[in-house]
Chains A and B, each alone.
Chain A
């Protein structure tokens, strides 16, 4: 499984993904800078990503908790998600996301 992550400098990285891991954890594990300061508790919105339009409808819907926390995301767009709430699975193989402003370490 792989995911494609575009960092804040605009460079796209192909990352090997692990089933069951949060997308945020995969990004962090590969050493890409992502602030994720609450560590995946859905409490800070500093792992905010823009999901490639082709993928938006293929993701599991947001839980209320994620939607509420997006109130604190900056640069919010319609395709905004918190990468700590996206759990890697077969269905997400090939997912493309871009790190949003506010995720810089």
Chain B
């Protein structure tokens, strides 16, 4: 499916804003679409699928109805295929940051990249929250973050002629070590063990650079950041059973994977209890009318964090969302098997 992903920073009006493009957010597009509601999805990740594609794309899932086994990536692909007729708009790589109520009762959601979405209904399908980089455990880390310690590369040029210490052993660490190697003064790769789970090709390239003396590789642990006013001057490193080593560097890039944090949703004035949003079990609406929460992020008595529960919640949510989006229309319950109206929406009007 070719995703519709407009450039960030624009303003859109739609029927429903869905925060989170994981499996439940994607299926919500389907249920809303059957009821003639258009959706825009916002996700901090740069591709749809949420945890399914970020944490376990290759891991088989066995409890999706009618799929005896399916991987996280395949499930996402199938959902994208299923919602194609409803042409949702994706705002990827953006954090849903601010939510405010407009005078006419609708909501305005603003992302960290300046995209503005307005709609009568908001559906929070954010799972465990936003995926954010894991932060190493180092004293005074905060003082350096964003100044000389980073978790992503925004502009490569920032590291030109600098000594860059890169921590981690996965694809991000290796990719950036290789990419920055030609422009940085020196790249120093630090990993806990002399084995890398990054793509074998990247590992081979890295080893070749190290063998040629063009990159440094240290196996061990980071112990301490040294510098002043947020500017790193060196990092204290220790290999197992050896004396600490002071490694001079101008910047550090740390790649320890991602973890989920509730993030700005906590500040939207909703009831939040232990990072979960309580909802009713009829409409899956939060304590704030017109804001729904479905999937892993919600809580109600008996809640199970299963993808299939989220699908059910999406279907019931859509019924109430319809009443907000089309207050003057009557909601007609129909089956996709028998309704020519629904089949037309799905693009299968001839029963094909």
Q: Which residues of A contact B (CB under 8 A)?
A: 35, 37-39, 41, 43-46, 67-68, 70-76, 101-102, 105
Assess whether A46 is in contact with B56, with CB atoms less than 8 Å apart.
Answer: no
A101 to B139, CA, bound (A): 13
Assess whether B55 is in contact with A43, with CB atoms less than 8 Å apart.
Answer: yes
Given known A-B contacts A71-B170, A74-B256, A76-B221, A38 and B134 have beta carbons under 8 A apart: no
Number of A-B contacts (CB under 8 A): 54
Interface size on B, residues (CB 8 A): 24
Given known A-B contacts A68-B197, A102-B259, A76 and B192 have beta carbons under 8 A apart: yes
A102 to B257, CA, bound (A): 12
Assess whether B193 is in contact with A37, with CB atoms less than 8 Å apart.
Answer: no
Q: Can you report 6 A-B residue pairs in the complex whose CB atoms are below 8 A from each other?
A: A37-B259, A39-B305, A46-B259, A67-B193, A72-B170, A75-B137
Chain A residues in 8 Å Cβ range of B221: 76
A35, A37, A74, A105: the one within 8 Å of B55 (CB): A37
Taking the closest CB of chain A, its distance from the CB of B257, in whole angstroms, is 4
Taking the closest CB of chain A, its distance from the CB of B75, in whole angstroms, is 15
Given known A-B contacts A37-B260, A45-B257, A74 and B135 have beta carbons under 8 A apart: yes
Chain B residues in 8 Å Cβ range of A74: 134-137, 256
Chain A residues in 8 Å Cβ range of B56: 38, 41, 43
Using CB atoms, name the residue of chain A closest to B137: A75
Chain B residues in 8 Å Cβ range of A38: 51, 55-56
A67, A72, A105: the one within 8 Å of B134 (CB): A72
Does B71 reach chain A (CB closer than 8 Å)?
no
Does B275 reach chain A (CB closer than 8 Å)?
yes
Assess whether A72 is in contact with B193, with CB atoms less than 8 Å apart.
Answer: no
A101 to B134, CA, bound (A): 10
Chain A residues in 8 Å Cβ range of B305: 39
Near A by CB (< 8 A), chain B positions 182-209 give 191-193, 197
Assess whether A71 is in contact with B197, with CB atoms less than 8 Å apart.
Answer: yes
A71 to B193, CA, bound (A): 8
Which of B135, B257, B275 has the most chain A CB atoms closer than 10 A to its own CB?
B257
Chain B residues in 8 Å Cβ range of A101: 137
Near A by CB (< 8 A), chain B positions 49-65 give 51, 55-56, 59
Given known A-B contacts A35-B259, A76-B192, A41 and B169 have beta carbons under 8 A apart: no
Additional 5 contacts, C-beta under 8 A, given A43-B55, A74-B135, A74-B137:
A38-B51, A39-B305, A43-B56, A71-B256, A72-B134
Near A by CB (< 8 A), chain B positions 125-158 give 128, 134-137
Chain B residues in 8 Å Cβ range of A44: 55, 257, 259
Using CB atoms, name the residue of chain B closest to A71: B169
Using CB atoms, name the residue of chain A closest to B134: A74
Does B168 reach chain A (CB closer than 8 Å)?
yes
Taking the closest CB of chain A, its distance from the CB of B334, in whole angstroms, is 36
Chain B residues in 8 Å Cβ range of A75: 136-137
Assess whether A70 is in contact with B257, with CB atoms less than 8 Å apart.
Answer: no
A46 to B259, CA, bound (A): 8
Assess whether A105 is in contact with B275, with CB atoms less than 8 Å apart.
Answer: yes
Chain B residues in 8 Å Cβ range of A37: 51, 55, 128, 259-260
